[in-house]
A and B are shown apart, each in its own frame.
Chain A
């Protein structure tokens, strides 16, 4: 990477302008836990690395109104973990994020980086999709909001165009009696890449489901929102028949790779199992068990 230049951008405008000017040869640097490894190993050879951590908005956690959070794209796991209110409102997002790497990695790794890295197995992504989170993107023509489920195009590929930068992640205002869960299956117990990841976010009223979002990771070229799941779940008490139907839907949506870490059959079966477990844990969380 001897040709690489470094720029610590101080404003979003400066970062976007520099990225735009570099015409595809620049990469944004947040925590660097993916990017620097990719540069060292020669997978990526950017001519310009634009450090975004000195931009205040990217590095802050804001509560726009009561229970409505916006998390800057470069906020680290260690930092977000210290926000007790966020942890209480979005336990599934936080547990997904905190599964990524060791404490050393958590000191730097960000939700924005996990998203922009574009891995189909990024742990935080199904949790963000289930949460109904939106990506706030700045570009030469101003800002736009994109639902996370539309952010990825394929392994390592996102919808970000030249000159566009992920600024923050905007969470919907959290309703009461709601909770979320992220479960993943890995060959090792810790610090491994998901073979299947499942994010579930539900709301209950008098034991009846009033809202539900289900997302799967690592079972297709991009993380998936299982759109039909909410139709089946809403209005029911989430009994085992309902969960069987949603699990079948999840398995149908799977289009995974076959590799040494998990076969197609295995990944598909586990997707259904994790869905059921995730919903049961979410119900427990809402009831305060």
Chain B
């Protein structure tokens, strides 16, 4: 069966790949493009560990076909730091120890970034609702929520 050729943009770089019709975006990211930061945990859209930002929207890359990325703009965890400098959210997650085993962390960071992109001044309730699609089985939610709120505060002060 003929493979599908896809031209897309990942982390501000033009990327081309060949995929099978049934390949998910997540499998192409991880297995073909060596972007292994996005994790596969549930594979059914429940856990959020494969979260990426597709044309500005937060989505699960496990619930997206790789062929659908044609002509799109994708952001993954690998594009979050700039020039070797960690994103404010990454830095704060480290400072607040907002991670334990780390499997859920890339998804939480992408979801948190999408939240602050859409709503730079979220309330704690808004943060908790927004991050409800990301599961942490070490159950370290509180530190994650506090880290996101602190980054939002820092952004407000520096604005």
Contacts and interface: CB of A to CB of B under 8 A. Distances in A.
B34 to A, nearest CB: 23
Interface residues of B, number: 30
B22 interface: yes
B156 to A, nearest CB: 22
Given A5-B21, A102-B133, A191-B132, A40 B43 contact: yes
Interface of A: 1-6, 8, 29, 32-33, 36-37, 39-41, 49, 51, 53, 76, 78-79, 101-105, 107-108, 190-191
A6 B21 contact: yes
Given A6-B65, A32-B63, A36-B63, A104 B133 contact: yes
B88 interface: no
Nearest to A190: B132
A192 to B, nearest CB: 12
A102 B48 contact: yes
Interface of B: 1, 4, 20-22, 24, 43-45, 48, 51, 54, 57-60, 63-65, 67-68, 70, 111, 114-115, 129-130, 132-134
B3 to A, nearest CB: 11
Contact of A104 (B21, B24, B59, B70): B59
11 contacts: A5-B1, A29-B68, A32-B63, A32-B64, A32-B65, A36-B65, A41-B44, A103-B115, A104-B111, A107-B54, A108-B57
Nearest to B43: A40
